[in-house]
Structures are given as structure tokens and as C-alpha cells.
Structure 1
Amino acid sequence: MIPPKPPSRPDKVSLLRYLRLFRQDILSAQPARLYRAWMAEFRTPFFRSYLINQPDLVKTVLKDRPMAFPKSGRIAEGLRPLLGESVFLTNGAKWLRQRRIIDPAFEGGRLRETFPAMWQASQAARARLRSRAGDTVEIEEQTSHAAADIIFRTLFSIPIEDDLASRVFHEFRAYQRSQPIVNLAAFLPLPRFVPRFHRADTKASARRIRALITELTEARQREIAAGTAPDDLATKIMTTRDPVTGETFTTDEMVDQVAIFFLAGHETSASALAWALYLLATHPEWQDKVAAEAQRLGESADFADMAKLRITRDVFRETLRLYPPVPMMVRETCGGQQFRGRVLPKGAQVVLSPWHQHRHERLWERPDEFDPSRWGSENGKQCAREAYMPFSAGPRVCPGAGFAMVEGPLLLALLMRDLRFSPVLKRVPEPVAFLTVRARSGIHLKVAFR
């Protein structure tokens, strides 16, 4: 067994070292004590932030009083060149309007309708990896390809091989490696009108991606007007009217939303799938269990067959616990708040970290171990309710959470059904935070037929 190399956990970190590590990779900057603390305060000359791990306080922020803790504008600065005013970044009335239009597209019945496209994309991914049997494969590239294919088929009814889809995919690959999850310059006390020093290549890549998405969106608008548009997620979102105002999204608004759908549905899924394959490769007993379960799927499964993949679902849940694609979420206090006897001033940053809470030593039994069976234990059930948030929680929970929990187990099952994955000696992946939790030098696995 070759366990993944965990990020370093220094016991003490000076402010200067913290900023250096933070700039390199936010996971490496986290001291060991944060995996035991209920709450921690960080003070700098520019801002004050509080990491919250205590379950009832996390619940207060995400579920009980979410409007008192809006999304942090500082964090939004790092992603705005690509995401604009997408639902991932907005707050208040604008966010409420966006969710009223978006949420109907991801209701339960729509998952059943999108399943055939997921199945086709998963079969295509299986075929690509079958052709590599006997090789050592960089698996993140493969899962990125598969997740992008699923998004394009379900959102726009086109496969990844489509020329425009392929260009968007390759631009996202470049953007993902150039853009950190947090732009450190966003934390400097600069007025809003002062540029935030985004890298030139990052801004250029974001412009190219948005131009390509605009092409897709305008083409779909023409199809909707002509009555020839397919009944997919893009059509559903673009034709849904806000029940309060009666308005639909403009082209620019739709481009913002497609950008976050692609980022959330492609980038996060690719991250989770790659780590799941690595964990199964390093735990062959669980790989065999998933393969045995997958044998029950036919060559033309339907949505109801997903109920047969209970072990595979638990494997995917455990992967999301250990390697949550979005490791940290940042909110901002609107007014003075008091947590654990401390007053949080207005404008303070409140950090909610799945990365820390999912590995918290006072919450989980054996927090750093991969054990999908934990979800049947009392500790696992309690933590699932109180300390598990890979998709956030409350009103701002990811609208595509149900989509991801079908896509992930389905793809894992189809790949394991007739392929075996094994780790490569001296190629132990080290998790780091780019846009999502990825491996610093990729994840390399040997692929063979069963």
C-alpha cells in the first residue's frame, strides 16, 4: 500500500513563513494544531480571519444565519476574471434571483433525464482507458477529459470531441494550473478601483474561455428561438423565468453561469475522481469490492441501477472526505458576531474548511485513514450530519451535488468493472490547492485488464 503524501503540517508557523507557504500552496501553510482546534484566529496588518471547525458554529454560518455571513468579496477577486457575476460569487438579492432560475434545472427528475448522457460519456472514458491497458497513465488528465465530456453532453448535448467543446476544455486545463484558489493580492487593503494584479496569462486564458462559452451560448439562443434546441440543462436554464420578475438570464449572465457550471462540474469532479482512483489503487481490497459490485450493471444500465452501487458510493463519499475538491470556503461578517467568547469584527473573514473539518482529530475516528465502511458506523453517521460538507451546506449548497453523486460512482464502477489500477513506486502524489485539490506532479497509475 502506498498512501498519498499528506501536506506538511508544521506545528508553528510565523506570519512571514505563513505568507510564503500560502503563496505556494494553502494546504502546506496549515499548522497541525488546526486539525484539533475548534476555532483559530489569524491577524495580519491587512485583515483578520477566523477558521471555524466547531460543528454548531459552522451550522450557524451556513444554515442558521447565512445572510449574516455573505461570500467574501476578497476571495471573489481571484476568480472574477473567469466567473464574472456567477452564482458562485454573488450575494444578496442578485444571488437569490440566480438560484431561483438555476435550481429547477437540477431537481431530482432532471437527474434521471441526464443519466443517458452521463452513461455515454462514462462508456467513452472506459474505452479510452481500455486502450491504455498495460501503460502507466497520468490519471488526472483522464478524469479531466471524462468530467468535461459529461458536462458538455449534459449541458449542451455535445461530446468533448466537438471542436468548440475541445477548445474550451483545453483552455480550462491551462487556466486551472495558472490560477491559485486564492489571489493573495485580494487580501491587500486596496480600494475597489485598483487592479488586483492577476497574472497576464491567467487573464488572457479567462478571456479566451469566456469568448468560447459566449459562442456556445449564442448558438443555443438561436436554436431556442428557432424551436430546435435540445432539452438539456442549458436549454432548461436559459428558458426558465424568474418566478418573481419574469425575466430570463441575459447572454452575459448565462456566460457567467456556464463558466461556474463548467468549473464546478468539471474541475471538482475531475479532482474527486482522480483521488478516488488513486485511493482504490492503493487499497486493492476496496477496488475488488467496487469491481464486484459493478459486475451487476448491464451494458445498458438506467438511472434505477445506481441504487446497486452502495459500496461505490461510499468509496466516493470517503474520497470527498479526504480530498474535498474545494478545500476552503470563505465568508465575511456583516456586523459584530460573537463566537466562543470572541467578538468577530465587521468585515472579518470566516474560513470554513472541509479540508480541516473532514480530518479533524476530535470529530472523526482515524481521520486520516481511507475507510469507506465508516459511513455505516455511529461515528460516521454522526459526522455525516455534523461535520461533512464537500458541497457546502444550507441555502448555498452546490445545486449540482446530486449530479456529482451520480456521476462519480457511475464512472468509478464502469472503470473498475474490467480494469485494474495499481500505484507506481516512487510516484506518490502530493495534494496541493490549485483551483481545486490536485496532485502537485499529477497522479500516475498502472492500468491493466482484470
Structure 2
Amino acid sequence: MIQPPKPKARADKVSLWQYMRLFRRDILSAQPERLYRAWMAEFRTPFFRSYMVNDAEVIRAVLKERPQAFPKSGRVGSGLRPLLGNSVFLTNGAAWERQRRIIDPAFEGGRLRETFPSICQAAQDAAARFAGHAGREIDIEPETSHAAADVIFRTLFSIPIDHAVAHDVFEAFQTYQRSQPILNLAAFVPVPSWVPRGYRRETRASARRIRRLIHQLTLNRQAEIDAGSAPQDLATKIMTTPDPETGQRFDVEEMVDQVAIFFLAGHETSASALAWALYLLALFPDWQDRVTEEAQGADLADFSQMSKLKITRDVFRETLRLYPPVPMMVRETTQAETFRKRAIRPGAQVVISQWHLHRQNRMWERPDDFDPTRWETENGQACARDAYLPFSAGPRVCPGAGFAMIEGVMMLASILRDLRVELGSGPPPVPVAHLTVRSQSGIALRIVRR
């Protein structure tokens, strides 16, 4: 049976210096093959210990049962601060709790119905752009990035991506995404805050540009709110929601931080998932035909009919399993712990690798196969509870998880309703981790009208 591509694992033993170089270039191929079957693995540096865990009991304790004892690691967060500042993605403790109290109401169930027309319009426009490439072979990653960015700008600020500022943010983010490694010097060596972190000049420049543009959008929105003329989109909802405990709202600078992470989490991750989903459906055309048949039998402009797209939803879920956009999460121990009868010191890094957990060969049946039917099996349902974390879990679960699922299903259905994607002429794409799981050299597909 054909298996979707995955990176070639490195040799089991390499030096710390070799590992740092491999990790900086690509976090996925830097890992040994044994991690796909390990329950826990220890990684040592002269400065700290790191533990990758695939054990459901440990993961449950870290993410769900005692999350306060395992805050997000500052070692990883330091690499993203030039763009994300003190966004909800990086904060811990009381600051994070306050941010979530303000943000979460914007993503409650009823809001999905309100944002659906914007998602629908972006999906229709994406289908039209794909149709414009009919008869040609293209790299689909730029197209899926364009489509996902359009969704974010429409739902956040009620502007399409062809709006001048939205387009400038999108262009700057493409530069940032390719130049920003997941980790920098602080991930491996304890350094004082005043020591330069080794950010690339291109990364710093694109982060500053993105934040300037977002600041402009946020200032304009605040003026509209003050004048009573603001559209009722996600930005307005978040900026006008007071913290139920203090009554305070986000100021403009705080909102810039949050919009930056919404753009990263809502655009970059969705673009990654959509690109891999289209590739998988080109690789498995029988499943593509089933998605098309389902889309042609539904009114895609009607939110209530989204529940009919069950096959498409299972395809997208399977894509998120095989190619989770965020491949790893890192937490830090604040006290002595015991994992699998092993003593863990305070300050250790706890790595939960969705990439390895979703392919753990002692939990999943045929973990490297593309099989959307697995979600109906006993094994698939058990693993969905214990070994499937595309949006994290517990209190820090992504607030936009439901939003992302609707977007992914709607995009697939809209694009494939009247079009077919076929494998390109080049070699299979090789997954690598930049900010998200992307292809090393793009994903070439041929677009064909049905």
C-alpha cells in the first residue's frame, strides 16, 4: 500500500553540536526512528534535561490534570517573541488566564455561525483561484497560504486579502515563516536576557514590518469602535470584551500581540493542513472522488449542512494526524516530578511531540497509512482520546479549534467540488518543520477541471 511521505530519521547517536545543527535546520529529521515507538526518551545537554513523552498518562497530567505545574517553556518562546510579543501563545500564569478570559468568548459555539459567511466567501474565492490554474501544474502551498490568510483577514477585520494592508501583512509573513527556525540559541544554552538571541536579520525585519501593519489595522479598528461604526467581527468582539474579573479590556498594544498569534495560528497552521490534505487526496484519488461526491450533494453556503460533510471531515482529521501543523509542544517542570518511575528535576523540558504521538506504532494501527475510516474503529476512537492532539488539550487547547475544522472542511469541499488535483511530475514532497509542517521544496499538483 502507498504510504504518505515522512522525513528520513537520523542515526540514533549524534553529538550535541550535530543535533543542534540538525534541529535548527529541521526539527523532524533531527529525531531518531526509535521515537516512533518510545513511551519516553531523555535528551541531555550540559545545561538541562529534556524528556519527550508519548505516554498517555504523562501527557494527561501535563496538559489536563496539572497544567499550572507545567508552564510553557521560555526556551522555545524566546524565538517567537519578536513577532508575538506577550501574546496568549507565550504567556503563563495570571497573564495567560486574563488573556483567555477576554479571548475565549469570541470563539464560543455561536460565533462559528456568525463567521461562517466570511469563511464561505473565502473558500469560494479560493476555488475560483484554483480553477484559474486548470490544466497546469502548480505549487499549491502559496495558494493554500493565500486562502488561509484570506479567511483570517475576513473573519478578524472584515477585509479580504486584496485589501492593501492585508496583502502587505501576508507578504511579510511569507518571509518571516521561511526565515524563522523553531529554536534559537536560548533553546540549548542558558543565556542572560541581554545576550543577543541569534535572530536572523531577515526574521527581525519581517517581524517588525508585520507588527507595524497589524498596529495600523488595530488603531483603525479602535477608532471605528469609538465612533460606533465597527463591524461585528472577531477583532471587534475581542477588543470590546472586558475581563469579567477586572473589567479591563485589551489596549492597542496588547491587541497587536493577540492579532499576531491569531494570524500565525489561524493562517499558517490552516495553510499547512490544507496543502497536505490536497496532496493526500491527489495521492489517493478514490478518497478524492468521495469528497467531491459529498460536496456536490450539499449546499456549501448553508452552515447547517456542514454536518453532512462527514467524509470530508474525516479526511481532514486524518490529515491533521499525519501532518500536524504544529509538530511539538514544550512545557517546563516547576517542581520535582516522577514520569514512568523516573525522577525528573525542576526546570526540565517536557516535549510532547504530536508528530511522533500521532504515528506511535504501539498505539495506532498502521500509523503511517492514510485511512480516514480509522475514526470509526475501536482503535481509532481510543487513540483519538489518548494520542491525538492537533489543537493541544486541556485549558490551553486552541480556542479556534472548531473554527479551524469548519474552515478546513469548507475549503476542501469548495475546491474539489468542480476540480480534481493530480500528483505533479516531481518527487514526493518531504515534510519539514519551519514554524509549521511544510514541504521542503513545495507541493506540486496538477489542477484539472472535472
Q: Which residue of 2 aligns with 1:200?
A: 201
Secondary structure in 2 aligned to 1:154? helix
Q: Deviations over 1:129-184 (max 9, x none)?
A: 11110010110100000000000000000000000000000000110000012224
Residue type of the alignment partner of 2:125: A
Paired residues of 2:426 and 2:444 also in contact (CA < 8 A): no
How far off its partner does 1:104 sit? Answer: 0.0
Q: Which residue of 1 aligns with 2:259?
A: 258
Between the aligned partners of 2:276 and 2:156, the Cα distance in structure 1 is: 25
**Correspondence 1:128-277 to 2 at 5 A:** 128-277=129-278
**Correspondence 1:73-92 to 2 at 5 A:** 73-92=74-93
Q: Which residue of 1 aligns with 2:380?
A: 380
Q: Which residue of 2 aligns with 1:368?
A: 368
Between the aligned partners of 1:323 and 1:360, the Cα distance in structure 2 is: 13
Between the aligned partners of 1:57 and 1:403, the Cα distance in structure 2 is: 28
Residue type of the alignment partner of 2:441: S
Identity level (%): 67
Between the aligned partners of 2:443 and 2:422, the Cα distance in structure 1 is: 11
Q: Which residue of 2 aligns with 1:431?
A: 431
How far off its partner does 1:440 sit? Answer: 0.4
Paired residues of 1:171 and 1:205 also in contact (CA < 8 A): yes
Paired residues of 1:97 and 1:242 also in contact (CA < 8 A): yes
How many residues align structurally?
449
Q: Tell whether 2:343 aligns with 1:314.
A: no
Q: Which residue of 1 aligns with 2:14?
A: 14
Q: Tell whether 2:401 aligns with 1:401.
A: yes
- What RMSD, in angstroms, separates the aligned Cα atoms of the two structures? 1.1
**Correspondence 1:416-427 to 2 at 5 A:** 416-427=416-427
Q: Tell whether 2:120 aligns with 1:106.
A: no
Between the aligned partners of 1:123 and 1:426, the Cα distance in structure 2 is: 29
Comparing 167-176 with 300-309, greater Cα deviation is found at 300-309
Comparing 82-91 with 10-19, greater Cα deviation is found at 10-19
Residue type of the alignment partner of 1:172: F
Q: Which residue of 2 aligns with 1:66?
A: 67
How far off its partner does 1:42 sit? Answer: 0.5
How far off its partner does 1:31 sit? Answer: 0.4
How far off its partner does 1:20 sit? Answer: 2.4
Paired residues of 2:4 and 2:368 also in contact (CA < 8 A): no
Comparing 17-26 with 320-329, greater Cα deviation is found at 17-26
Residue type of the alignment partner of 2:389: M
Secondary structure in 1 aligned to 2:78? helix
Paired residues of 2:37 and 2:360 also in contact (CA < 8 A): yes
Between the aligned partners of 2:182 and 2:274, the Cα distance in structure 1 is: 19
Q: Deviations over 1:162-211 (max 9, x none)?
A: 00000000000110000012224432121122221211110111000000
Paired residues of 2:429 and 2:441 also in contact (CA < 8 A): yes
Between the aligned partners of 1:341 and 1:308, the Cα distance in structure 2 is: 46
Between the aligned partners of 2:311 and 2:182, the Cα distance in structure 1 is: 32
Paired residues of 2:425 and 2:444 also in contact (CA < 8 A): no
How far off its partner does 1:231 sit? Answer: 0.3
How far off its partner does 1:11 sit? Answer: 4.6
How far off its partner does 1:17 sit? Answer: 3.0
Q: Tell whether 2:414 aligns with 1:446.
A: no
Secondary structure in 2 aligned to 1:78? coil
Secondary structure in 2 aligned to 1:318? helix
Q: Which residue of 2 aligns with 1:56?
A: 57
Q: Deviations over 1:42-89 (max 9, x none)?
A: 101122100010011100000000000000011010000000000000
Q: Deviations over 1:214-240 (max 9, x none)?
A: 000000000000000000000000000
Residue type of the alignment partner of 2:144: T
Paired residues of 1:4 and 1:429 also in contact (CA < 8 A): no
How far off its partner does 1:19 sit? Answer: 2.2
Q: Deviations over 1:14-42 (max 9, x none)?
A: 23432221121110011011111100101
Comparing 18-27 with 415-424, greater Cα deviation is found at 18-27
Between the aligned partners of 2:439 and 2:198, the Cα distance in structure 1 is: 26
Paired residues of 1:69 and 1:332 also in contact (CA < 8 A): yes
How far off its partner does 1:3 sit? Answer: 4.7
Structure 2: gaps of 5 or more residues: none
Q: Tell whether 2:324 aligns with 1:324.
A: yes
Residue type of the alignment partner of 2:89: F
Secondary structure in 2 aligned to 1:182? coil
Between the aligned partners of 1:201 and 1:150, the Cα distance in structure 2 is: 26
Secondary structure in 1 aligned to 2:24? helix
Between the aligned partners of 2:20 and 2:47, the Cα distance in structure 1 is: 12
Q: Deviations over 1:86-120 (max 9, x none)?
A: 00000000000000000000000000000000000
Q: TM-score, normalised by structure 1?
A: 0.98
Comparing 301-310 with 351-360, greater Cα deviation is found at 301-310
Between the aligned partners of 1:20 and 1:212, the Cα distance in structure 2 is: 33
Q: TM-score, normalised by structure 2?
A: 0.98
Between the aligned partners of 1:20 and 1:8, the Cα distance in structure 2 is: 16
Between the aligned partners of 1:270 and 1:353, the Cα distance in structure 2 is: 20
Secondary structure in 2 aligned to 1:447? strand
Paired residues of 2:358 and 2:387 also in contact (CA < 8 A): yes
Q: Which residue of 1 aligns with 2:118?
A: 117
Secondary structure in 2 aligned to 1:58? helix
Residue type of the alignment partner of 2:215: T
Between the aligned partners of 2:298 and 2:51, the Cα distance in structure 1 is: 47
Residue type of the alignment partner of 2:272: S
Paired residues of 1:323 and 1:437 also in contact (CA < 8 A): yes
Q: Tell whether 2:339 aligns with 1:336.
A: no
Paired residues of 1:2 and 1:423 also in contact (CA < 8 A): no
Q: Which residue of 2 aligns with 1:357?
A: 357
